[in-house]
Structure 1
Amino acid sequence: MIAGVKLDIVRAANGRVKRVVYPPGFRWSTHIRPIVGTEYCMHAHVGFLARGRVQGRYRDGCAFEIVAPQVVAIEPGHDAWVTGTEAAVLIEFDAESDTLHRFGLPPEHRHGSP
């Protein structure tokens, strides 16, 4: 557990299904950036926000808000944080290093992309 984030992972075929529980007050730039050393989260997140509320901002200034229950596709190059007093629970599907290719996502957020 890092920064209070709980993670359950199950391997499925050529990918993984993850349940990630982000605690209230969690912010990627505060809690994870010092560990990974990048300015923004450079991972794609594809899945379903089952509980909670998350806000975020891409490097280019585009902002997003996700309120459960909602499907999500967050491109690389973002900061995100949990808002409110409830933990955010994300069910995420990934193919590890091949996630971008498999889901057809760009290597970094481009203004106006879906």
Structure 2
Amino acid sequence: MQSLVSMSFAEPTEIREFPHGRLELFDLHGSAVGRFVLEPGWHWSRDVAPLAGTETCQQRHVAYLVSGNLHVSMNDGAYGVVKSGEVIHIEPGHDAWTVGEETVTVLDFADVATYAVDSAALRAAR
């Protein structure tokens, strides 16, 4: 394994598109970094839940919000709006949606390799 790996944000390894947004994945030899681009009107429970096959997002996020505002609502009742320039840590069990008319761009440093993967296709492959 290489001891130093670098990539350009201009050339993602993979792009996963879903309604109102996409995830650009950067595979750094086993560690995945993601750039989410979420258009106004994006809502996890409507746009990604059908792929995930869960009622709420079960992905952990450790991220930096580059642009826009994102409302996050946790299963335990906690909620808040994350704003451009903030770093966030979100545990599994949440819903989220864009706020306002600005595109939300998020750099996620948690392992996002399984985000927006069709759960039915994964089960069929097993």
RMSD: 1.5
Give the corresponding residue for 1:105: none
Give the corresponding residue for 1:77: 93
Distance in 2, matches of 1:50 and 1:96, equals: 17
Matches within 5 A, 1:74-113: 74-96=90-112
User: Which structure has the larger Rg?
Assistant: 2
- TM-score, normalised relative to structure 2: 0.71
Distance in 1, matches of 2:53 and 2:29, equals: 31
**5+ residue gaps, structure 1:** 98-114
Q: Which runs of 4+ in 1 moved over 6 A?
A: none
Give the corresponding residue for 1:62: 78
- TM-score, normalised relative to structure 1: 0.78
Give the corresponding residue for 1:109: none
How far residue 61 of structure 1 moved from its aligned partner, in angstroms, is 0.8
* 2:70 pairs with 1:47: no
Number of matched pairs? 97
Q: What letter is aligned with 1:19?
A: R
SS at match of 2:109: strand
How far residue 96 of structure 1 moved from its aligned partner, in angstroms, is 4.9
* 2:36 pairs with 1:20: yes
Contact map agreement 1:14 1:95 (CA 8 A) in 2:
no
Give the corresponding residue for 2:50: 34
**5+ residue gaps, structure 2:** 1-16, 114-126
